[in-house]
Structure 1
């Protein structure tokens, strides 16, 4: 378990009935956002309620505050075969030796895509998060009324987001803290 106290964006969302913790990556270009249901068994309900519109509005009513953070150390690794996904979207010609056309990319012939895979890797430790060669940092600070408590001692969701575009880069769930 990671034990820390930082000045971070954190709070509660009553509509989704969850606590939110946002940790900035170095350079503030990316954030790791944790969504912790208030009910220890509430992750399935949270997952069913969350939409892109609700995700975008998560941060209204929460602010940067002194926060006690308790999150488990974990490694998340997933591998996906993208060929079925791409072909279901109608992207088939790149996989066919006869129809693939990569003339603007290479002079080699014949060229086609024989495999398309995606691998995701996220590691959360006391030193931060490793995902796409980024590291989380935080500032220490104080607030009136005592620190906010974010204790992830039951299943939660996490998201890695590009702060400039709002693009979600990773979505995951941690089911066994």
Structure 2
């Protein structure tokens, strides 16, 4: 029987996969469990993104959504299987610390929602497709520490749950459910956040967006002049666009390469350590007057993460008869073998003058996000007229909720 599918979905949240770097586990000081969890999710998302970025087109994923779904898988793994998953995620916490850190992160992110500014929801689920597979202790652990809903369901029930939790941004995540699917672990994330400095729709006008050095298209470009945190890096500039959230904790970071064709090289060199450094630099930067132009954009991305995860080191978890998920079943592998059949991630993002709206879902099948006055400095231009990277980040927890690459804002 297969523990067939892991799903993640969210309007601006996407998926996860990782390439474990042993150097990440050799830090001289041990971070707090929740910080270690966030770092692992961010790093895994970045490594997965680098793998996905080798193909052309728009990408949207949610490191948080993917990490949440795979943490539930890790909670039920034992022995070498647990080691392989932990190594792939760069996550080495005790069962107690893993559960506690996830519980704290969920509570912290859900607390970011505000009445008139931010809607941020994250939901987990254990859907039992076949009865008699899931041990009561595992079900209780997911309900207590992952705030997971547990219910019996089929393909329609899984898609309906995802659609409900993502406010309809993702209407369905699975088109079929193999006969040997025993259970599905799912995370769905949804974000709708209003800009702290809204763009004026009256000044939005078509402008060029350079898809490449030889090809430009006209797209609606939003305009603003205000104070923003801005940093210069090697081959790029980055800006933080805050949302109207508690203490400005949520924001979108746009990373713009210096050259029209520079996004591929930028994605390749902006690894987990470089991303962490960039986020720290933006948090520490003073705001300056910026003349901003950024396109409206939409992106919709769905991908199976099974191959990247296996390549990253999680192969054992996909091998029927060898994978040890006895923590899920409460029975020895020889008596009730299950393995991961697929990991599916779907993420969507919409950005306009008023807000950003994003959703992501991750599912894991287991088979049994004017001129300046004379006394004012001339504003610094930041014109997003070529392919770029984006990250939606919660400064309070450090979690990257969504990230991606916009190669064409029209799609």
TM over 0.5, yes or no? yes
Aligned-partner Cα distance in 1 for 2:381–2:269: 23
Alignment of 1:103-142 (within 5 A): 116-132=343-359
> Scaled by the length of structure 2, what TM-score is found?
0.34
2:390 corresponds to: 158
Q: Which runs of 5+ in 1 are unaligned?
A: 105-109, 134-141
Aligned-partner Cα distance in 2 for 1:92–1:44: 31
Aligned-partner Cα distance in 2 for 1:56–1:86: 22
1:72 corresponds to: 295
Q: Deviations over 1:40-59 (max 9, x none)?
A: 22112212221222222222
Aligned-partner Cα distance in 2 for 1:80–1:40: 26
Q: Which moved more, 1:84-93 or 1:15-24?
A: 84-93
Give SS of 1:76's match: strand
1:170 corresponds to: 402
Q: 2:238 aligns with which of 16, 20, 40?
A: 20
Aligned-partner Cα distance in 2 for 1:40–1:85: 28
Aligned-partner Cα distance in 1 for 2:309–2:236: 35
18 and 62 in structure 1: CA distance in 2 versus 1, 3 angstrom threshold: farther
Structure 1 residue 103: deviation in Å?
6.3
Judge conservation of contact 2:300–2:347 (CA < 8 Å) in 1.
yes
Give SS of 1:39's match: coil
When you count strand as a share of all residues, which structure comes out higher?
A: 1
Judge conservation of contact 1:160–1:169 (CA < 8 Å) in 2.
yes
Q: Deviations over 1:117-174 (max 9, x none)?
A: 32111111111211249xxxxxxxx994122211001111111222123222222111
1:57 matched to 2:277: yes
Aligned-partner Cα distance in 1 for 2:243–2:408: 24
Q: CA RMSD in A?
A: 3.3
Judge conservation of contact 1:75–1:122 (CA < 8 Å) in 2.
yes
Aligned-partner Cα distance in 2 for 1:152–1:167: 24
> Scaled by the length of structure 1, what TM-score is found?
0.71
Judge conservation of contact 1:16–1:50 (CA < 8 Å) in 2.
no
